[in-house]
Amino acid sequence: MFESLSDRLQSTFKRLKGQGKLTENNISDTLREVRRAFLEADVNYKVTREFIERIKVRALGQEVLGSLTPELQIARIIGEELTQLMGEKAEKIRIAPSGPTVVMLAGLQGAGKTTVAAKLALRFRKEGRKPLLVAADVYRPAAIKQLQILGEQTETPVFSMGTEVSPVDIAAASVKEALAHGHNCVIIDTAGRLHVDETLMDELRQIKERVEPTEILLIVDAMTGQDAVNVAENFNTDLEIDGVILTKMDGDARGGAALSIRHVTQKPIKFISVGEKIEAAALEEFHPERMSSRILGEGDFQTLLEKAEDVFSEDQAKELERKLTENKGLDFDDFLTQLEQLKNMGPLDQLMDLMPFKNQLPVQNLTPDESHLRTAKAIIHSMTLEERKNPRLLDRSRKLRISKGSGTTVNQINMLVSQLQMMNRMLNQQAAMAMPQMGRKVGSLPGLKRKASRKPRRRKRRKSR
């Protein structure tokens, strides 16, 4: 996610290394690079211009940042401005105080509305709500069927009246249906349309009038170019949207839409959608600060922790914490648990994106492959319990046995062993130095600490609900 922008910015900062302080000269070089990085990332032209102007004023305005080197100084300013650009704080979906929460989805053709509708339904269900999906796309061939299949997958009822009824009537009837059958949220999937299509935009306005949605969300393909702001502005003018969901964020999106839309429409990005599979982890809440940290290559430890928190049981977490604090290092049993849990946290490549200092890992450009996970599991399953606890036992003859048992080569086993060692080393390092450093940079360490100590209480509260 945002790799090309992230790489460009970081290499720009690097060039400031070794310079004594920020001067008019090196600032303007840096800003030229930043500007180009932004434009190549499809950030709207006007947004880019204003952004660069603000950075310039701040960098030259001699905000004396004491001990910070020029590259850290500029990185911090840009980080803060990026956060600002994306809207400061995360905003959630509003839930209606009484009656069903009606969420209406709108957007261009092919933005991903139907898929998002299903992911949203799943999310609501996980939160203990009773969603109803509404098939209001009567134009695209088989759109209703698609929603029905996704409804089955997510075990969510789908309300449809075929293709002969007007979407306005379908929407109105669906809310009645929801009231009658105790659904407390309604997700209306509308047909994709161009923002310049008067007739179809009018249809959306009519739906809005009839059902008075709690939330109108615009679905935008994150890969959209300079036109993203036109689309968003038009939909916003016609419908007054409440927020935006960015889709296909895993398609090497440059970040342009993410950085431009909020600024131009003043409407928050509420979720980002990743992956084709309908799963809860595929719809992430949008946190401007975390996103800005990802763009600056500092990863997103908070999201990683939250994802982990969702899949690890309390006991597993405690055990892990104990081992880490006692500096014992992890064994293959832990490794196995982690592998299993990792799968539940979402696709590997997306998790990698969240890793802090990903770019500083010993192996560059590593593309995680899910099949490695299967191999690793097979190897560990072929070990004795003793061996799992104590990897040092693994001599040549044991490795030969394991390789036969798991259908792998000794080489693969060796690699797994060294991976475990590397992970232990990294964990120690992270604990020892990377964390305070990161805390200073993005201010996330205090949050981390609080979070860790708060965790058990939060769990209990959740259960009692």
Partner 1 sequence: MLRNLFKGGGKSHDESEGVDERRSWFDRLKSGLTKTRDQFLSQLSGLLRVGRRIDEDLMEEIEEILIQSDVGVDTTLTLMDNVRERVKSEGLSDSSELASVLKSEILNLLGVDVPLQIKDEKPYTILVLGVNGAGKTTTIGKLASRFIADGHRVLVAAGDTFRAAAEDQLSIWCERAGAELIRGGENAEPASVVFDAIHAAKHRDADVLIVDTAGRLHTKKPLMDELSKIGRVMGRAHTGAPHEVLLVVDGTVGQNALMQAKIFNEAVPITGVVVTKLDGTAKGGIVIAVNAEIGAPVKLIGIGEKLDDLRDFAGADFVEALFAEETAGTPESLQV
Q: Which residues bind partner 1 (CB under 8 A)?
A: 36, 39-42, 45, 108-112, 140-143, 145-146, 148-150, 153, 194-196, 221, 223-228, 230-231, 234, 248, 250-254, 256, 276, 349, 367, 369-370
**CA-based R_g, the chain, Å:** 25
Which of residues 283 and 380 has its CB atom nearest to partner 1 in the complex? 283
User: Taking the complex as a whole, how short is the minimal distance between the CB of residue 228 and partner 1, in angstroms?
Assistant: 8
3-state SS, residue 342 = helix
CB atoms near residue 337 (< 10 Å) = 16
Q: Which among 150, 115, 118 is positioned nearest to 131, based on CA atoms?
A: 118
CA distance 297 to 295: 5
Give the residue with the Cβ less far from partner 1, 69 or 153. Answer: 153
Rank residues 14 and 145 by Cβ distance to partner 1 and give the closer one: 145
Give whichever of 196 and 452 is closer to partner 1, judged by the CB atom.
Answer: 196
- Which DSSP string do the residues of 384-450 spell out, in sequence order? -HHHHH-GGG--HHHHHHHHHHHT--HHHHHHHHHHHHHHHHHHHHIIIIIHHHHHHHHS-HHHHHH
Least Å from the CB of residue 278 to partner 1 = 9
* Residue 103 backbone phi and psi in degrees, to 5: -110, 125
CA 336, 337, 343, 345 torsion-angle sign: negative
Of 214 and 350, nearer to partner 1 (C-beta) is: 350
Q: How far is the CB of 77 from partner 1 (least distance, A)?
A: 23
Minimum distance between the CB of residue 211 and partner 1, rounded to whole angstroms?
25
Comparison of 109 and 409: residue with beta carbon closer to partner 1: 109
Structure tokens at 38: 């932004």
Closest approach, Cβ 142 to partner 1, in A, equals 4
Task: Pick the closer one to partner 1 by CB: 224 or 444.
Answer: 224
- Report residue 342 as tokens: 């990792």
Report strand pairing: 243-247 vs 269-273: parallel
β-bridge mates for residue 104, sequence order? 188, 216
Q: Which two tokens stand for residue 60?
A: 């030259």
From 93, 102, 95, select the one nearest 175 (Cα to Cα): 102
* Helix/strand/coil for 132: strand
Q: What separation, in Å, do the N-terminal and C-terminal C-alpha atoms of the chain show?
A: 35
Closest contact distance (angstroms) between CB of 245 and partner 1 is 14
Residue 212 or residue 370: which is nearer to partner 1 going by CB?
A: 370
CB of 116 to partner 1, least distance (A): 11
- State the minimum distance, in angstroms, from the CB of residue 5 to partner 1: 11
